Amino acid sequence: MRLQGKNILVTGGASGIGLATVDRCLQEGANVVIADLPGSAGASLAAARDTQDGRRCLFLAVDVSATEQVDQLVADTVAQLGRLDGVFNNAGIGGLSAAAEYPDADFLRIIDINLNGVFRVARAALRQMHRQGSGSIVNCASILGVFGQSMTAAYSAAKGGVVNLTRTLALESAARGVRVNAIGPGYIDTPLLSGLDDTLRQALVRQHPIGRLGRPEEVANATLFLLSDEASFITGAHLLVDGGFTAGKS
């Protein structure tokens, strides 16, 4: 059990990559908090998984755009489980628009959730982990954290910020026993892509040399590694899980 007895917090944990990571952490012996919006399926998902094989799975509602809610999330996690050993900082939203036409409100909302929200969660977690002298944070970045793509000005800016924020947090925390890394998924077959027509879907598939979209559990496996003690000498990294998408063109 790679996470035996550890307490892991997963934001955006009620679907997609987040939920796959919840399940992998539970399988590897962790107690897990699913954190997601109040209207999500998080409560029922946690209830269905709680106390299986003696492990706890709890739901705590949070909007990562609200500092007070984020701080309370970490406080409630520690109050219920005793400590915080790992965080998958995964909550985020998408959005497409040409830069010249991007409304301020839409651009700023994506930045606030995908970048500022990652910072808020990391900041609250680091305060607890620094007190403990241990912990691991994995921030969800993206292939769009390392190169641009048309129609994604806000998303790409946010994810690029997450990559460099991760490096900075890692430098500040290394001497205090806390590791901070990022995961960079390619296009993953989640409900977010369910609305794509077949032409666009196949166009995305062709951009991955492996010849398919990624699966949520493949990102979860890489996240699990970074959360675990197996990655004890890794901090400040951005691990791409992208089927070769960013390797170049063949």
Give residue 226's pLDDT.
Answer: 98
CATH number, domain 7-239: 3.40.50.720
Annotated active-site positions, please?
155
The tens-digit pLDDT sequence of the chain (250 residues) is 899 999 999 999 999 999 999 999 999 999 999 999 999 999 999 999 998 778 999 999 999 999 999 999 999 999 999 999 999 999 999 999 999 999 999 999 999 999 999 999 999 999 999 999 999 999 999 999 999 999 999 999 999 999 999 999 999 999 999 999 999 999 999 877 777 788 988 999 999 999 999 999 999 999 999 999 999 999 999 999 999 999 987 7
pTM score, two decimals?
0.97
Reported as half-sphere exposure (CB side, CA atoms, 13 A), residue 74 has a value of 23
> How far, in Å, are 59, 200, 201, 242 from residue 207 at the CA level?
36, 11, 10, 10
Nearest-angstrom CA–CA distance, 129 and 180? 11
The C-alpha R_g of the chain, in whole angstroms, comes to 17
Give residue 139's pLDDT.
Answer: 98
